[in-house]
Structure 1
Amino acid sequence: MSSTMPSHRDHVINEINELLFKHGFETSNIYDRSCFDLVARRELLLLLMKVLINVDGFSAAHAQEIKRVARTFLASPLLVGIKSKNEVLEEDVVYERHGIPVIAPTTLRNIVVEEIYPEIFADRGGYYVEIDGQIVKDVRESQDLSLKDLADLAHVSRETIYKYETGRVRAQPETAFLLESILNMRITLSVDLFQVPQQKNMDKKDEGEPRELVDLGFGVINTNRTPFDALAKAETQNVDVNKKTEPLITDLEKNRNQKVLKRMATNLKDLSDVIGTDAVFILEKKKKLDSIDGVPVVHSWEIGEMKDPAEFLKMLAERRECN
């Protein structure tokens, strides 16, 4: 099994990439050994996607990293998988691993092609749905049904109906679908797959590298499982270089040779195009170099002579325009 699984996974990734591209998404290259395999954008929706055969192989460390990147770019992390343990993931059901939503490839296809969003999510103890309690109450009252009347029809307790209406409990799918049949109204809510992870205190933006950017007034987050080295964003509110203060994706020199830097430049350009942000190399070499294969270069000694992030962003814009 171990000899066939990588090619199987590659096949799934390529199918997903083609699916997204055919339906209006701009997609990145595929990145192995990263917390995400590809980035996809359609209008305001930006996805960071990881594809696995067995979703139990998705580690907490990878989840933490993809969340940090997603928060920075207001993106939605999404894990697509085939199975968990020995069970195949079911169609139109949302699972979860380390706070990241998990779906099967067929579920993704239904969303992208048919705009059919899943309503059922898996949790400890089974499958559940969220009920729009206000709709249940409004329709029940419009049909002159008491809490007990509806409870008797749905074979649940009066207290359960009350909890549904007040949003205190989730329902099992069978009960929810029976209520929909009784009320002749959709009462279930689609699962919100495309959320941006909430900010956490673990994102320590003042401890990153390079220190020159931190000292200049940038928040910097270093990454270990991405095709780049760090994320940087101006912390001050008075930065105004064509109103462009989006986060930057950054690669550092780290004693890398020119061949490696050129390969990294390809990744930076690809990701910056899809994400819609700037990329930059921060180099320590004294030799003046304005760009590597179209990606602007700013030297550490140049940053040391700057007063604020605005100067850095201005230099970055000038070198970008020269390419």
Structure 2
Amino acid sequence: MQHRNDMNSEINNFLKSEGFETSNIYDHGAFDIVARKNLLILLVKTFGNIDGVNKTNSEEMKQLASIFLASPLIIGEKSRNGKLEDGVIYERYDIPTITLNTFKHMILYDEYPEIIADRGGYFVKINGNVLKEYRDKNSLSLKDLADMAHVSRATMYKYENDMVKVNTETAIILEEILGTKITVDINLLKPSESSENLKYSDDENTKILSKLGYGVISTNKSPFDAAAKIKNKESNPLIANVEKNRTPKTLEKMAVPLKDLSLITSSDSVFIVDNEKISESIGEIPVIKSWELNEFESSQDLLKLIKERKNN
């Protein structure tokens, strides 16, 4: 089995060779690599054994994907049931989980998997409209087509209305009946645009940002303390390290990933501190004092000061 460090290095080098900008490798958190090519942003986490995927880390990964409009992916080699198969999606906590070969084929050839491994076997998604068109063309009832495919009328109704996945055996039978492809490739590189599942924080360290109109996600397994986005408005995300009585030397170390990730994700980055002795920037990252935030009336005031200090 390939060591995770080797797998991350291979993925990083592969993405660079395909024109992606890539972050440093962060192998102890919610993601290992962040990569960008044009508007496509990837959050990648690797596992030798995908049974080691952690729910807490996965939830944070999904939250960040929503903030950054990124595609979260887990790349692994095996599970307790054996080696993972190429061209199959193994979901872990609603995050697509695939092999490295499957990942490379998506990037190189725009070839997306269509088979989903789930409890009870392998399943696919189908185009229900194709079933409806076939029935209408051949004057068949739901029950007629259901009988031909050896399923119930209720099940056929769900197939036509894209309400359930179809096991691969039934999909093969349906394609033989219709004489055409009905399975749907699943684009795993489609960004996570839904904000419905975002769980905004409002703790002591981030409530000031919340008052300025930001939706804030506090992080525990990422190289920054919080990620935020202005609610109900198109804007760059904000990633921040927030006052936690850290020493200037510690803050200087934390500035490296903050700068790295802000460039890849097109995010504004900032330190929010209480210490009056700390200068207005650390490692090119603007520093905002907590008392300054209290004087702001809107997010625009914050962004203006971040821009000024970044330019200086």
Shared fold (TM-score greater than 0.5)? yes
**CA-CA distance at 1:153 after TM superposition:** 6.0
Q: Quickly say closer, same or farther: Cα 1:123–1:319, change in 2 above 3 A.
A: same
Quote the residue 2:284 is aligned against.
294
Quote the residue 2:223 is aligned against.
227
- Say which SS state the counterpart of residue 50 (structure 1) adopts: strand
| 135-144 or 251-260: bigger deviation | 135-144
Confirm or deny: 8 A CA contact 2:63 2:197 kept in the other structure: no
Give, as a single letter, the amino acid of the residue that structure 2 aligns with 1:249. Answer: I
Counterpart among 203, 208, 225 of residue 199 in structure 2: 203
Confirm or deny: 8 A CA contact 1:121 1:191 kept in the other structure: no
The normalised TM-score by structure 2 is 0.88
Quote the residue 2:178 is aligned against.
183
- 1:115-147 deviations in Å (ceiling 9; x for gaps): 111111011100001111111232454467776
- 1:49-105 deviations in Å (ceiling 9; x for gaps): 110111111111111111221222222211111111141111111111112111111
Q: Quickly say closer, same or farther: Cα 1:148–1:99, change in 2 above 3 A.
A: closer
Alignment of 1:1-323 (within 5 A): 8-142=3-137, 154=149, 156-157=150-151, 159=153, 161-193=156-188, 194-196=190-192, 198-199=194-195, 203-207=199-203, 209-235=205-231, 245-287=235-277, 289-322=279-312
Q: Distance in 2 between matches of 1:127 and 1:214?
A: 44
**CA-CA distance at 1:32 after TM superposition:** 2.0
The normalised TM-score by structure 1 is 0.86
Q: Distance in 1 between matches of 2:163 and 2:206?
A: 48
**CA-CA distance at 1:219 after TM superposition:** 3.3
Q: Quickly say closer, same or farther: Cα 1:142–1:54, change in 2 above 3 A.
A: same
Q: Distance in 2 between matches of 1:299 and 1:110?
A: 47
- 1:229-253 deviations in Å (ceiling 9; x for gaps): 112334586xxxxxx8322100124
Confirm or deny: 8 A CA contact 2:158 2:164 kept in the other structure: yes
Confirm or deny: 8 A CA contact 1:132 1:165 kept in the other structure: yes
| 268-277 or 166-175: bigger deviation | 166-175
Q: Distance in 2 between matches of 1:320 and 1:121?
A: 46
Confirm or deny: 8 A CA contact 1:209 1:220 kept in the other structure: no
For the aligned residue pairs, the C-alpha RMSD in angstroms reads: 2.6
- 1:164-193 deviations in Å (ceiling 9; x for gaps): 334344322233234324433221112242
**CA-CA distance at 1:198 after TM superposition:** 4.3
- Figure out how many residues of one structure are paired with residues of the other and give that number: 310
- Say which SS state the counterpart of residue 188 (structure 1) adopts: coil
- Say which SS state the counterpart of residue 31 (structure 1) adopts: coil
Confirm or deny: 8 A CA contact 1:70 1:196 kept in the other structure: yes
- Ranges in structure 1 where 5+ consecutive residues have no aligned partner: 238-243
Quote the residue 1:241 is aligned against.
none
Give, as a single letter, the amino acid of the residue that structure 2 aligns with 1:258. Answer: P
Q: Quickly say closer, same or farther: Cα 1:236–1:151, change in 2 above 3 A.
A: closer
- Ranges in structure 2 where 5+ consecutive residues have no aligned partner: none
